[in-house]
Structure 1
Amino acid sequence: MFVVFLCSLLCAFSNAQREEDITVKRTLKLMGTRFEITVIAPNEDIGYINIDEAVSEIKRIEKIISSWDDASETSLINKNAGVKPVRVCRELFQLIERSKKISEITDGAFDISYASMDNIWKFDGSMDRMPNDGELQRSISKIGYQKIILDSKEQTVFLKEKGMRIGFGAIGKGYAADRAKELLVSKQVKGGIINASGDLTTWGTKVTGEKWLIGIANPLSKDKVFSWLPVVESSVATSGNYEKYIVLNGKKYSHIIDPRTGYPTTGINSVSIFAKNAELCDALATAVFIMGRDSGIHLINQINGVEAVVVDDGNKIHKSTGILFDKNQ
């Protein structure tokens, strides 16, 4: 199991001027999940003002990308599937454009049109049989990033088939974390963390000049750290099956569904992706989980500035070439 911890590693230098700064933290529910926002500020009042600004930015993004909000541009795209193109704001258009590019490099393992899938898998304990092939084929019949038609000149999005839907569940939290970080950096906030339920991005250092770190838990004991890895001006996202899964006929199935087959993924307990942007980490964590250990790590090794740690269903840790474990930290 891969558990994200936040800790610190003492730097080789000290900075007396930073001693006046303090750490301000707030935890709240945004985008249907738990966000923890931490900032370094000269005092508590300014810290909470900064956090409020980040919260407002995240809420603004949610109003654009939420498929549950009938008034959002995303909902308007879904309502007009198979009917007509919908003109959207530049921000949403570019997010969909980037999402399609990730679909291309992952051979459809990541696909925002997964939202077209019927909810035939239940992870609430009520499911007692496997869906048949016919049910699965009907479930995935509307899925396909190639069916998302973008017109950059008109700035429109068109879903080719009626019943198609797009959703940003596998990239939206990361994107929101990036934008909130970008806003706070523009406000000269010295350092902090935006943690969107395990998808996190950092900048600067702690008050003492310490680096932000994440800890990899020992697969055989989640309370013990196997190794610490620095996240300096960078991001990490983790996809795991620790809580949401089902067991049918003695086999464990993750809640993460392969949009190409309609089947839940097997063989992996968790994937953590390290990259500059949380958006990319978020999307690739899901994609690698679906692609599987070998194919996923092979893909990551071909992308500059991106690394991965994969824990398989035997609790063995695998990593991309750029990850160096230091068990002594």
Structure 2
Amino acid sequence: MKNLLFLVILFSALQSNSQVLRKRTTLLMGGRFDITLVAESKELAEQNIDSVIAEISRIENLISDWKSDSQISKVNQNAGIVPVKVDKEVFELTKRAIELSKVTDGAFDISFAAMDKIWKFDGSMTQMPSAEIIKKSVALVGFQNVVLNQDSSTIFLKYKGMKIGFGALGEGYATDRCRKMMLTKGIKSGIVNASGDMSTWGKQPNGKKWLVGITNPINEDKILATISLENAAIVTSGNYRKFVEFNGKRYAHIINPKTGYPASGLISVTVVGPSAEIANGLSTSTMVLGKDEGMKFLEKYPNYSYVLVTDGNEVIHSDDWLVNKMKLPSKID
């Protein structure tokens, strides 16, 4: 359910007389982070990029389910045994993830980390898994079995083998946190891009808004559309890079946690709004829900705009979508 890098930052100016733009790329939380800050000096920008990296690392050490000493790993290690006390920050993030699981009726599920990895998208699969194996793969998935205790700030997983994870929310949460931290520190402009989960604030040094290009999912050398952003988040989820084909049908890497089968119907979902964490949850959920149910779901979040691309190459967007006065195509080739 992890997003890939389907967004491109299009810089129109690197610096002005009074402000300098600095960028650094690093690997954190199992993925690529591109950190871009605008400051009064190169030194100040670099110092604050260091602070952003430190904050992302702090969050990773709290919620990573592949770091054995993180709080979430301790929750998973004690599944079916005892509740585990966690920091308020971790508790509240988990609580929001469960709320999203509820409103999507499990199309998004925080306990998807327990899913058996039976689908392989590295070229090694030669046949479809059986219906029995697919059913078994999701046996331990079920957000209803995650028990939160607000008073004691504990998380308990009812059954041994259950796991929770933040592969579809954690990076968006981190980018939102870093944006807030930078604004508090007086860094008035920048972008934190976590492999397609992007939080922006302020403007480029030349005074123009940040310009972000959305990759054409049919031809990745082209841009589907561009959008100018200021103090907004944008997330794209897509399934057109990792997939297998059996009997002429494509099965892609975003799995429906309720059924164990790959999601179908959409190949790309872009969501824009105030929070990257929420936009991430909306885009991932919509990929699983499909076009019709996904659009109904997204309409419940009027502060978020969207662009969907179906597996028939149809382009659908919310009524409030503005893309640099560019009209989106109704279909792509």
Gapped runs of 5+ residues in structure 2?
A: 329-333
AA at the equivalent of 1:327 = M
Deviations 1:43-71 (A, max 9, x none): 11111100000000000000000111111
Q: CA deviation at 1:9?
A: 7.7
Question: 1:141 corresponds to which letter in structure 2?
Answer: A
Find the counterpart in structure 2 of residue 113 from structure 1.
111
Aligned to 1:248: 246
Bigger mean CA offset, 94-103 vs 318-327: 318-327
1:293 maps to amino acid: K
Question: Pick from 180, 183, 203: which aligns with 2:181?
Answer: 183
Alpha carbons 1:40, 1:192 under 8 Å: kept: yes
Give 3-state SS (helix, strand or coil) of 1:98's partner: helix
- Give the aligned residue type for 1:261: T
Tell me the residue number matched to 2:311: 313
Residues in 2 aligned to 1:120 and 1:222: alpha-carbon distance in whole angstroms: 28
Q: Which amino acid aligns with 2:146?
A: I
* 1:155 corresponds to: 153
Asked if the contact 1:9/1:211 (under 8 Å) is kept, the reply is: no
Residue 255 of structure 2 aligns with which residue? 257
Give the corresponding residue for 1:38: 36
Distance 1:221 1:247 in 2: 19
Percentage of pairs with the same residue: 42
Q: Which residue number corresponds to residue 286 of structure 1?
A: 284
Partners of 2:240 and 2:125 lie apart in 1 by 18
- Once residues 225 and 172 of structure 2 are traced to their aligned partners in structure 1, the CA distance between those partners, rounded to angstroms, is 24
In structure 2, relative to structure 1, the CA distance for the partners of 1:68 and 1:227 (3 Å cut) is closer
Residue 223 of structure 1 aligns to a residue whose secondary structure is coil
Size of the aligned set, in residue pairs, is 323
Distance in 2 (alpha carbons) for counterparts of 1:259 and 1:215: 30
Displacement, 1:316?
A: 1.6
Secondary structure at the aligned position of 1:49 is classed as: helix
- Shift, 1:226, TM fit: 4.2
User: Any conservation in 2 of the 1:226–1:327 contact (CA below 8 Å)?
Assistant: no
The verdict on how the C-alpha distance between 1:45 and 1:293 changes in structure 2, with shifts beyond 3 A counting, is same
Structure 1 SS opposite 2:62: helix
Is the Cα–Cα contact under 8 Å of residues 8 and 211 in structure 1 kept in the other structure?
Answer: no
Letter in 1 for 2:267: N
Distance 2:235 2:21 in 1: 23
Distance 1:189 1:104 in 2: 37
Residues 5 and 216, structure 1, Cα contact 8 Å, conserved in 2 = yes
* Alignment correspondent of 1:4: 7
* 1:19 partner SS: coil
Q: TM-score, normalised by structure 1?
A: 0.93
Q: Which amino acid aligns with 1:290?
A: V
Instruction: Pick the aligned partner of 1:238 from 233, 236, 259.
Output: 236
Secondary structure at 2:76 match in 1? helix
Match of 1:65 in 2: 63
Contact residue 217 and residue 268 of structure 2 kept, 8 A = no
Q: Distance in 2 between matches of 1:218 and 1:83?
A: 47
| Letter paired with 1:93 | F
Q: Distance in 2 between matches of 1:153 and 1:219?
A: 46
1:132-152: per-residue Cα shift (whole Å, max 9, x none)?
A: 121112111111111110000
Matched residue type, 1:210: K
Contact 1:301–1:321 (Cα < 8 Å) also in 2: no
Equivalent position SS for 1:55: helix
Note the alpha carbon deviations across 1:101-143, whole angstroms, 9 max, x for none: 1111111111110011111111111111111121112111111
Q: Does 1:327 align with 2:326?
A: yes
Q: Can you give the 5+ residue segments of structure 1 that lack an aligned partner in the other structure? A: 11-15
User: Could you tell me the TM-score, scaled by structure 2's length?
Assistant: 0.92
Q: Structure 1 pair 91/291, CA: closer, same or farther in 2 (3 Å)? A: same
